[in-house]
Structure 1
Amino acid sequence: MTGTDHNNPLQPSSAADSDHDAEQKAQRHQQRQQKLKEKVDERIAAATRDKGLLLVITGNGKGKSTAGFGMVCRTVGHGMRAAVAQFIKGSWACGERDLLQQHGVAFAVMATGFTWETQNRALDMAAAQAVWQQAKQYLQDPAIHLVLLDELTYMLTYDYIALEEVLDALTTRPQGQHVVITGRGCHRSLIELADTVSEVQSVKHAFDAGIRVQQGVDW
């Protein structure tokens, strides 16, 4: 049998009915999007303050430092100054550092490597303090638009840097300066102080399957 089966309730009775259904769907979609737009516009209109933000990126998933460096790149892309203090990381190559130093980004690096490699608390603490002293200078410079404190959370967990000293440096920094802190297990005091907190969770990681870290992806 060819043509329209008028005894089949599942088949549209005509092309006009199909067009009508499509038009109704389009109208409902437009109405939903208009309501969404109104809500977004309300929130944008209500956000009237400007301030230097403290952002925390924590959690056990991959990508915390990468996200922090993304904000450094964004800052530099807008022609503003940024500085980075890298805790934990060693003297091995860092793609972000190699690139950003070419664009005037200042770096202070704790070049002793990971604590499970050095196994020397006194050495690690001295290295952490040296980087922290430089970081404090960044946090006092109003010409620096954004400071990334990469893996700072570990320094507080290990008591290499005093929490009170960090909180003081953050609360007394220039008014318009933004700060990004990355690392697992962020101290609750930093989370409470922060304006924005993101938690990166691990679902799968290639390293757990025996795959080596990959240049350009992991470092």
Structure 2
Amino acid sequence: MSVKNEKLAGMTEAELDARHADKMRKKKLARDKIIATKTQEKGLVIVHTGKGKGKSTAAFGLVFRALGNDMKVAIVQFVKGRWETGERQALRRFEDSVTITAMGDGFTWETQDRQRDIAAAQAAWERAKALILDATHQLVVLDELNIVLRYDYLPVAEVVEFLRDHKPEMKHVVITGRNAKEELIDFADLVTEMEQVKHPFRSGIKAQKGIEF
């Protein structure tokens, strides 16, 4: 047992409580000092990527958080156009605050038509640009945009340039999909990579309603 653990083992509950309170007080003071230096406000570009599950799920979590703060939201689904997901059904209850555009025809291995996929991606991007410029919405989710960028259906340079030069200052944009391009990662304000540790699909379990869709 280390010297520190021996000391803790010899303390009473009251002493442990007092030690914990003092430690948390110091931590709070340090945290408050850091927070006080963060004064800038801006619309964020957020990227959810990685091989793990939860990228779109996390984005829809932000959608519901925004709705809870009386914000208006727009969603463009670049790939999952033919899927009737639980998120889409739930958001129908907020029709006055949410605009959903499903532009995709499914994953590229389902359509097996590259030119059709390119046309769908370009149409979705035009819609996305219009929604980003529209002052009505404070948050825009570009679901699975990374997929079409990965296949070069859209030039990543064009996407980054538009977000850099034309996105309204206070507009938040969330982009999902695995294999995010380095140019987008470098430009974004917040990037989260979902890491897959274990997935039921690998054990022969099919997608479950309410969990996968």
Question: Which TM-score applies when normalising by structure 2?
Answer: 0.90
User: SS of the counterpart of 1:92?
Assistant: coil
Alpha-carbon distance between aligned partners in 2 of 1:96 and 1:36, rounded to the nearest angstrom: 38
User: SS of the counterpart of 1:124?
Assistant: helix
1:195 aligns with 2:189: yes
Tell me what 1:15 maps to: none
Shift of 1:89: 1.1
Letter in 2 for 1:98: Q
Alpha-carbon distance between aligned partners in 1 of 2:93 and 2:14, rounded to the nearest angstrom: 55
Letter in 1 for 2:112: Q
Measured at CA, do residues 20 and 182 of structure 1 come closer, stay the same or move farther in structure 2, by a change above 3 Å? closer
User: SS of the counterpart of 2:123?
Assistant: helix
The answer to whether the 8 Å contact 2:149/2:155 transfers is yes
| Residues 91-135 of structure 1 deviation map (CA, whole Å, 9 limit, x = unaligned) | 121111122133121122134111111111001111111111110
Tell me what 2:26 maps to: 35
The answer to whether the 8 Å contact 1:86/1:108 transfers is yes
Larger Rg: 1
Which piece of structure 1 moves more, 170-179 or 89-98?
A: 89-98
Letter in 1 for 2:87: E
Tell me what 2:54 maps to: 63
> Where do 5+ consecutive residues of structure 1 fail to align?
1-17
Q: CA RMSD in A?
A: 1.6
Letter in 2 for 1:92: W
Alpha-carbon distance between aligned partners in 2 of 1:158 and 1:122, rounded to the nearest angstrom: 12
Tell me what 2:203 maps to: 209
Correspondences of 1:42-121 after superposition (within 5 Å): 42-104=33-95, 105-121=98-114
Tell me what 1:13 maps to: none
Aligned residue among 129, 142, 160 for 1:136: 129
The answer to whether the 8 Å contact 1:101/1:107 transfers is no
Tell me what 1:167 maps to: 160
Matched residue pairs, number? 202
User: SS of the counterpart of 1:212?
Assistant: coil
Alpha-carbon distance between aligned partners in 2 of 1:141 and 1:218, rounded to the nearest angstrom: 31
Consecutive aligned runs of 4 or more in structure 1 exceeding 4 Å deviation: none
Alpha-carbon distance between aligned partners in 2 of 1:209 and 1:142, rounded to the nearest angstrom: 46
> Where do 5+ consecutive residues of structure 2 fail to align?
1-8
Percent identity between the two aligned chains: 46
User: SS of the counterpart of 2:39?
Assistant: coil
Alpha-carbon distance between aligned partners in 2 of 1:110 and 1:117, rounded to the nearest angstrom: 15
Letter in 1 for 2:37: A
